[in-house]
Amino acid sequence: MIEHDAIYKLLAPAKNETWLEILPQQISKAFNFSVHGTSAKWQILIENLDLPLPSQSNFNNDCIQIGLAKDISSERQLQLRNELMEFHPWRKGPYDLFGIPIDSEWRSDWKWQRLKDHISSLKNRLVLDVGCGNGYHCWRILGAGAKAVIGVDPTLINVMQFQLIKKLSGEFPVHLLPITLEAIPSEIKLFDSVFSMGVLYHRRSPIDHLLELKNTLRAGGELILETLIVDGNLGETMLPEGRYAKMRNVWFLPSCKTLVSWMARCGFKNIRIVDINQTSIKEQRSTEWMRFHSLEQFLDADDKNLTCEGLPAPKRVIIVADAF
């Protein structure tokens, strides 16, 4: 399912034979159906998809468009909609696939709008998207002119959603590897731009994560980092004692000044804060395509500035920095 040859061609300039040797094993492990029983059903659905190439695709719209309703019959469109629903929950989007709108939990396009005018041109760049979910931002990066995009995400439902979308779209230089950033050999220094959005606060060692990101960037490459923060001064960081907004795996939420100091200590230069935004229940919410609880249920019922645990509500920063 993963296009080994195309990925190897992209990775060859790194001259990292170790990764090229272990990558097939990493991919095979991710698709171990004895561990992930549902994935066999998902893979069969993807393999059995038999649709014409889309007459039109657009990766620059807020809603990523692949195909038009007129490309397939109304009966096949209804069948496709049911097939897409088999991949519930859809966390990232929105998408429009052959006239079927997928209203995902996150309005991922809002985040893109907040960052797109503050980053270097992506034209002809090789880009890495860490923790990319089902690849929504990978497609936006391609639409912005990138030469090729590699996303990494270990969550199998995200990988399967991406593979489904990629099969519908046809051949484009966008790939998703079912691995974590930590699985990429250190000092690869291959990518022109690296995105890490919504990952740092899930890491028990944020400094290690920043160093690992830096080691994937070529000299002069650019990091686009988005993460949860708290208000505060230099040196202030919140470490939730238990869950945060019902999430189990949230570790360090630094103040902006603290985060900038971490990045400087890791060797990043020209560090600039380009956006601070408190997540709203219009940006992250339950929908027909993600029917579980979402942000509204994770906040205090009487005070939307607090989580249900009584902690500051999710506030996010986008920081852009250079690696040398």
Encode pLDDT of 4-15 as tens digits.
Answer: 678 877 777 665
Give the CA distances from residue 249 to residues 124, 257, 266, 310, in Å, rounded to whole numbers and listed in that order: 36, 23, 23, 17
Q: State phi, psi for 252 to the nearest 5 degrees.
A: -100, 125
Per-residue confidence (pLDDT) for residue 186, from 0 to 100: 84
Per-residue confidence (pLDDT) for residue 268, from 0 to 100: 98
Contacts of 312 (CB under 8 A, 6+ apart): 230, 231, 238, 305, 306
Q: State the Cα–Cα distance between residues 25 and 16, nearest whole angstrom.
A: 16
- Is the pLDDT at 102 greater than 90? The verdict is yes
Cis peptide before 89 (omega within 30 of 0): yes
Q: Where does the pLDDT of residue 33 fall: very low under 50, low under 70, confident under 90, or very high at 90 and above?
A: low
Tell me the average pLDDT across 55-68.
Answer: 98
Q: State the Cα–Cα distance between residues 315 and 228, nearest whole angstrom.
A: 6
Q: Where does the pLDDT of residue 36 fall: very low under 50, low under 70, confident under 90, or very high at 90 and above?
A: low
Amino acid at 146: A
pLDDT, tens digit (0-9, with 9 covering 90-100), for 277-322: 999 999 999 999 999 999 999 999 999 999 999 999 999 999 999 9
Tell me the average pLDDT across 83-95.
Answer: 98
- Is the pLDDT at 1 greater than 70? The verdict is no
Q: State phi, psi for 218 to the nearest 5 degrees.
A: -70, 165
Tell me the average pLDDT across 119-144.
Answer: 98
Q: Are 165 and 97 in contact (CB under 8 A)?
A: yes
Tell me the average pLDDT across 263-280.
Answer: 98
The helix (run of H) or strand (run of E) holding residue 235 is: none
pLDDT, tens digit (0-9, with 9 covering 90-100), for 189-224: 999 999 999 999 999 999 999 999 999 999 999 999
Residue range(s) defining the domain that contains residue 30: 4-323
Look up tokens 């998408």; give the residue. 95
Per-residue confidence (pLDDT) for residue 185, from 0 to 100: 86
Q: State the Cα–Cα distance between residues 286 and 292, nearest whole angstrom.
A: 6
- Is the pLDDT at 34 greater than 70? The verdict is no
Q: State the Cα–Cα distance between residues 225 and 214, nearest whole angstrom.
A: 11
Q: Per the structure block, which two tokens stand in for 166?
A: 């990629």
Q: Per the structure block, which two tokens stand in for 255?
A: 């103040």
Q: Are strands 315-323 and 217-229 parallel, antiparallel or unpaired?
A: antiparallel
Per-residue confidence (pLDDT) for residue 30, from 0 to 100: 74
Per-residue confidence (pLDDT) for residue 15, from 0 to 100: 58
User: Does residue 164 or residue 21 have the better pLDDT?
Assistant: 164
Q: State the Cα–Cα distance between residues 105 and 230, nearest whole angstrom.
A: 23
Per-residue confidence (pLDDT) for residue 37, from 0 to 100: 64
Q: Are 262 and 254 in contact (CB under 8 A)?
A: yes
Tell me the average pLDDT across 61-86.
Answer: 98
- Is the pLDDT at 2 greater than 70? The verdict is no
- CATH code of residue 164: 3.40.50.150
Contacts of 194 (CB under 8 A, 6+ apart): 127, 128, 129, 130, 213, 216, 217, 221, 222, 223, 224
Q: Is the dihedral of CA 222, 209, 60, 51 positive or negative?
A: positive
Q: Are 318 and 227 in contact (CB under 8 A)?
A: no
pLDDT, tens digit (0-9, with 9 covering 90-100), for 16-31: 667 777 888 888 777 7
Q: Per the structure block, which two tokens stand in for 317?
A: 């920063």
Per-residue confidence (pLDDT) for residue 93, from 0 to 100: 98
Tell me the average pLDDT across 139-151.
Answer: 97
Per-residue confidence (pLDDT) for residue 23, from 0 to 100: 83
Q: State the Cα–Cα distance between residues 213 and 201, nearest whole angstrom.
A: 14
Q: State the Cα–Cα distance between residues 218 and 197, nearest whole angstrom.
A: 19
- Gyration radius from the chain CA atoms: 20
In the DSSP assignment, the letter for residue 259 is H
Per-residue confidence (pLDDT) for residue 134, from 0 to 100: 98
Q: State the Cα–Cα distance between residues 322 and 134, nearest whole angstrom.
A: 26
- Is the pLDDT at 232 greater than 90? The verdict is yes
Tell me the average pLDDT across 265-280.
Answer: 98
Give the CA distances from residue 34 to residues 158, 239, 280, in Å, rounded to whole numbers and listed in that order: 18, 36, 39
- Is the pLDDT at 229 greater than 90? The verdict is yes
- Is the pLDDT at 166 greater than 70? The verdict is yes
- Is the pLDDT at 49 greater than 70? The verdict is yes
Q: How many domains does the chain have?
A: 1
pLDDT, averaged across the chain: 94
- Is the pLDDT at 187 greater than 90? The verdict is no
